[in-house]
Every structure is written in structure tokens, then in C-alpha cells.
């Protein structure tokens, strides 16, 4: 997930930015009270190791700009009046930063860290923090290909990502200046241009309020079926519902979809009664869900479509019903399990909404036609029905889209993680951090 990898990157850079006397931290001189514990050669090797880790962070920044740049629009550019036209002007600051990053990565003599270097803990805390930075950057490369690139973000999310990349670039530039006294240290090529580019991007991104919901996007580990014997009580319902959500990845035909819908109506109804004494709000929500599925079930009676499968989803739905209805009124209701079940309900509702919208759009699901429409001249001896099914676009009887919009799709947009803003604020504070002197004054 982007929020986790980028958050880790920011946290470790924040730690590094708070460390000022770098020579002391790698065993070098600087004060008469602390003995020198490393040779110049040792410190040179430490510097090379740090540069390899830094290279990983630079590559992360570059890949981030490559992923976001094609669809990015500067907040300074006025949007075209025709909404079907893309903005004609590219994001100048972002492209400048991207070019400089590409140059810096290319001209650096440091290679990317090996897998051993990424996974072996380092003895010195400073180098260990750099290792964590490199690990987060290496993991974060997944996110740009998973769901952050290729125009999948809206403009506010794009600017949030650009702002994050700018902050990391600025942190790397500040650290680069601080590490110049390490023996054999190689400075970032065009560091000044990088710093100005990052500042321009950060200012551009700050013109709009950020959208931290982008933290929930990116690579996720694939979910797996929970196999094995049924868990006791409510956990068993949770297990079956989880498996049902996974099985619904397969596009179902209408008959199987109707059975899944029926199972959700029954599960919502029985669980709403069960949780009424302890969680009245949840009970009300699930009762409304039962009504939604009742209406959907009635609408689907007049929908046909043999394309698709969904047999395994039906089996899991049936298991969910049997476990939910077998729960006794005095069953233990763990609030975490109830919350998990509510999340799974939302995910399944979304998936069913996607399935119906896809089916209607591709005419995989079609509307049934009433009986008295005979083909007067079908060329056959016996007059049959003229049409038995028509596309939804030609039918005015069913309106599933309204039901999907108003009931099945959760109305609220995905919320940002609670510490999303704090993580960014901490990095920005660390970039301008100054150590305090002995008289508690800030050194300049």
C-alpha cells in the first residue's frame, strides 16, 4: 500500500534529518569527548553503503514522477473549457524535476543495493535508517505500477503524490549537503536544480488541498481463501463471507447472482436481529441492507443472462446463510468481528454493483420481455415470440442504476488513514530541523 511504503520512507528520512553531527555517528572525530572508533577507510565504506541505499530512494522518486507525469496537470494551468479535451500544457515543474532526477540517477556511480544489503541489519543506527529507507523505496516501486500510475488518480491525488515525491527529494538534497565531509562522498549531480525543482513542485501541489485517500491505493497482498474447518460462532460467518467476496471475483451468470443476492438478504436480516441489543446503529444499517437486497432480488427476476459462472460464490453464500442462521441469540459478538463483517458487506455490495453495471453495459445481462409480443411474420409455421430479451438501453421498465447508486455503493469516498497528514508534517518539520545548542538556542 502506498501509504505504508511512503510513510515508512518519510519516517526514516525524518530520523536521518534529525541527526546533525554525522561524523560522530559513523565513528569519526568531531569532539574531544568522544573517541574515534573507525578509520578513514571504514568511513569511506560506510559512505559508499549509504550512497547505495540513497540510490534506491532516488530511483523511487524518479519512478514516481514517471508514473504520475503523463496525466499530471499543474494547478497553475487553467482547465480547458471543453471537459473532453486534456490540458494542453504539461506540468512544467514536474517534468523539470523528472529530467533532473533521471540525470542524477544516471550519473551516480553508486549501484542499487543488493538483496543481502537490503535484508541484513546494519550495526550503526544511521546506516540502519538508510537501509530502512532503501527497503521502503524498493517495496514502494510496486505501488506505482499497481494503481497509482497511468491516469488512475484524480488531479488532487496526483498533486498529493507529487508533493510527497518533492518532500523526499528535498530531504535527500539536505542530507546530501550534510554528508559532504564523509571521506569519498559523491554529491548528487545537479543537486541545486533538484532542490529548486522539488520546491516548485511542492508549491504547485500545495495550491490545492491534498487528498490523502491516495494512501490506501497501491499494491496490496493478494487475499486468500480461509480454508479448513468452520470457525466457531460469528467467526465462521466472517470466514464464509470473506470467501464469498473472493469467489465473487468471477463474473456470475444471472441465476447464480440471484442466489448470492438471496443469501445476502437472509444474512443481513438474521444478523440485524442478532446485533440489535448491542449495536443498534449497525442493526439499522444491516436492516436497510436487507431491504436493498430484497428490492434488488425483485428487479433481477426480470433480468436474464447465461454468460458467466459463479457456482463457487453460490456455495459460499449458502454456507454464510447456514452459519448466520445457526447463531444463537446469546452468541458472543466480538465488536472487531462485527466491524470486519460490515467491511466485507461493503466490499461485496461494491462488487455486486460492479458486476451488474458491467453486465448491463456489455449486454451480458438483458431485460426479459413480456409475453404478448408475437412475431407476425417469422417465416415459420407457428408464430413464436418476437423477442424474449432486449438490452437494458432499449428497455424502460427496469432501472437498476438508480438502485446501485443510491443503495449499493457506499456513499462516502474512501477515508484517508488517520496519521496520513501527521506523517507528512513530520517530514517537512524534519527538513527544516536545526539542533539546539547548549543554551537551548537553535543553531543556524
Residues in the site for another protein, rule: CB under 8 A? 253-255, 258-259, 262, 265-266, 269-270, 290, 294, 297-298, 301-302, 304-306, 367-371, 374, 382-385, 388, 397
Q: How far is the CB of 262 from another protein (least distance, A)?
A: 5
Q: Count CB neighbours of 13 within 10 A.
A: 27
Closer residue to another protein, CB minimum distance, 103 or 294: 294
Q: Which long-range contacts (CB under 8 A, 24 or more apart) does 241-247 make?
A: 241/267, 241/316, 241/320, 241/341, 241/344, 241/345, 241/348, 242/344, 243/316, 243/319, 244/313, 244/316, 244/317, 244/320, 244/348, 245/344, 245/347, 245/348, 245/351, 247/310, 247/312, 247/313, 247/315, 247/316
Shortest separation between residue 260's beta carbon and another protein, angstroms? 12
CA angle 124, 177, 120 (to 5 degrees): 25
SS3 at position 102:
helix
How large is the C-alpha radius of gyration of the chain?
Answer: 29
What is the nearest approach in angstroms of another protein to the Cβ of residue 269? 5
**366 vs 420 by CB, closer to another protein:** 366
* Number of Cβ within a 10 Å radius of residue 50: 27
Nearer Cβ to another protein, position 36 or 326? 326
For residue 83, CA distances in Å to 79, 80, 205, 207 come to: 8, 7, 22, 21
Which of 243/270 has CB closer to another protein? 270
Q: Which of residues 243 and 256 has its CB atom nearest to another protein in the complex?
A: 256
Residue 197 or 305: the one with the smaller Cβ distance to another protein is 305
Residue for cell digits 502506498?
Answer: 2
Closest contact distance (angstroms) between CB of 15 and another protein is: 56
How open is the CA angle 101-175-115, to the nearest 5 degrees?
Answer: 70
For residue 148, the minimal CB distance to another protein (Å) is 41
Residue 112 to residue 395: CA distance in whole angstroms: 59
Minimum Å gap between C-beta 368 and another protein is: 4
Minimum CB–partner distance for residue 258 and another protein (Å): 6
Shortest reach from residue 345's CB to another protein, in Å: 16
Pick left, alpha or beta for residue 442 (phi over 0 → left; psi -120 to 50 → alpha; otherwise beta). beta
Q: How far apart are CA 334 and CA 329, in angstroms?
A: 14
302 and 368 Cβ atoms separated by less than 8 Å: yes
Bridge partners, residue 389, by sequence:
368
Q: Name which of 15 and 367 has its Cβ closer to another protein.
A: 367
Q: Please report how close the Cβ of residue 297 comes to another protein at its closest, in angstroms.
A: 6
Q: How far is CA 308 from the centre of its chain?
A: 28
Q: Shortest gap between Cβ of 398 and another protein (angstroms)?
A: 9
Nearer to another protein, 55 or 263 (CB): 263
- Nearest approach, Cβ of residue 329 and another protein (Å): 16
Q: Is residue 408 classed exposed, middle or buried when 0-12, 13-18 and 19+ CB atoms within 10 A define those classes?
A: buried
Within 10 angstroms of residue 336's Cβ, the number of other Cβ atoms is: 9
- Nearest residue (CB) to another protein, 45 versus 287: 287
**DSSP letters spanning 344-391:** HHHHHHHHHHHHHHHHHHTTSSEEE--S--B-TT-SSSS--BS-SEE-
Nearer to another protein, 290 or 316 (CB): 290
Nearer to another protein, 102 or 255 (CB): 255
- Select from 42, 13, 48 the least CA-distant residue to 28: 42
Amino acid at each position: 500500500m502506498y501509504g505504508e511504503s511512503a510513510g515508512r520512507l518519510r519516517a526514516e528520512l525524518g530520523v536521518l534529518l534529525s541527526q546533525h553531527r554525522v561524523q560522530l555517528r559513523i565513528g569519526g572525530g568531531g569532539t574531544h569527548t568522544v573517541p574515534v572508533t573507525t578509520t578513514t577507510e571504514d568511513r569511506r565504506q560506510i559512505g559508499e553503503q549509504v550512497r547505495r541505499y540513497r540510490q534506491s530512494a532516488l530511483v523511487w522518486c524518479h519512478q514516481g514522477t514517471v508514473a504520475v507525469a503523463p496525466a499530471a496537470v499543474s494547478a497553475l494551468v487553467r482547465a480547458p473549457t471543453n471537459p473532453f479535451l486534456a490540458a494542453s500544457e504539461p506540468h512544467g515543474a514536474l517534468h523539470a524535476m523528472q529530467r533532473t532526477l533521471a540525470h542524477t540517477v544516471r550519473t551516480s556511480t553508486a549501484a542499487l543495493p543488493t538483496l543481502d544489503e537490503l535484508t541484513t541489519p546494519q550495526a550503526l543506527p544511521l546506516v540502519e535508517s538508510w537501509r530502512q529507507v532503501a527497503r521502503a523505496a524498493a517495496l514502494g516501486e510496486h505501488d506505482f505500477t499497481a494503481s497509482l500510475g497511468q491516469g488512475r488518480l484524480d488531479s488532487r491525488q496526483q498533486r498529493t503524490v507529487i508533493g510527497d515525491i518533492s518532500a523526499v527529494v528535498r530531504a535527500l538534497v539536505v542530507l546530501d549537503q550534510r554528508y559532504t565531509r564523509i571521506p569519498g562522498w559523491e554529491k548528487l549531480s545537479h543537486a541545486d536544480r533538484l532542490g529548486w525543482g522539488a520546491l516548485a513542485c511542492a508549491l504547485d501541489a500545495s495550491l490545492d488541498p491534498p487528498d490523502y485517500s491516495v494512501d490506501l491505493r497501491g499494491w496490496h497482498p493478494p487475499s486468500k481463501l480461509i480454508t479448513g474447518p468452520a470457525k466457531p460462532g460469528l467467526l465462521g460467518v466472517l470466514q464464509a463471507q470473506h470467501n464469498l467476496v473472493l469467489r465473487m471475483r468471477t463474473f456470475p451468470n444471472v441465476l447464480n447472482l440471484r442466489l448470492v443476492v438471496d443469501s445476502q438478504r437472509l444474512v443481513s436480516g438474521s444478523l440485524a436481529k442478532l446485533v440489535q441489543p448491542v449495536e443498534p446503529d449497525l442493526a439499522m444499517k444491516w436492516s436497510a441492507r436487507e431491504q436493498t437486497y430484497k428490492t434488488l432480488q425483485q428487479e433481477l427476476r426480470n433480468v436474464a443472462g447465461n454468460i458467466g459462472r459463479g457456482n463457487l460464490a453460490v456455495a459460499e453464500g449458502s454456507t454464510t446463510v447456514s452459519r448466520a442462521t445457526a447463531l444463537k441469540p446469546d452468541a458472543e459478538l466480538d465488536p472487531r468481528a462485527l466491524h470486519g463483517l460490515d467491511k466485507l458487506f461493503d466490499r461485496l455490495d461494491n462488487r455486486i454493483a460492479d458486476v451488474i453495471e458491467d453486465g448491463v453495459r456489455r449486454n451480458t445481462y438483458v431485460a426479459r420481455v413480456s409475453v404478448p409480443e408475437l412475431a407476425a411474420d417469422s417465416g415459420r409455421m407457428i408464430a413464436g415470440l418476437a423477442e424474449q430479451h432486449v438490452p437494458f438501453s432499449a428497455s424502460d421498465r427496469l432501472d437498476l442504476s438508480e438502485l446501485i447508486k443510491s443503495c449499493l455503493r457506499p456513499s462516502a469516498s474512501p477515508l484517508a488513514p488517520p496519521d496520513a497528514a501527521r506523517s507528512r508534517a513530520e517530514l517537512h518539520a524534519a527538513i527544516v530541523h536545526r539542533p539546539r545548542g547548549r543554551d537551548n538556542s537553535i543553531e543556524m
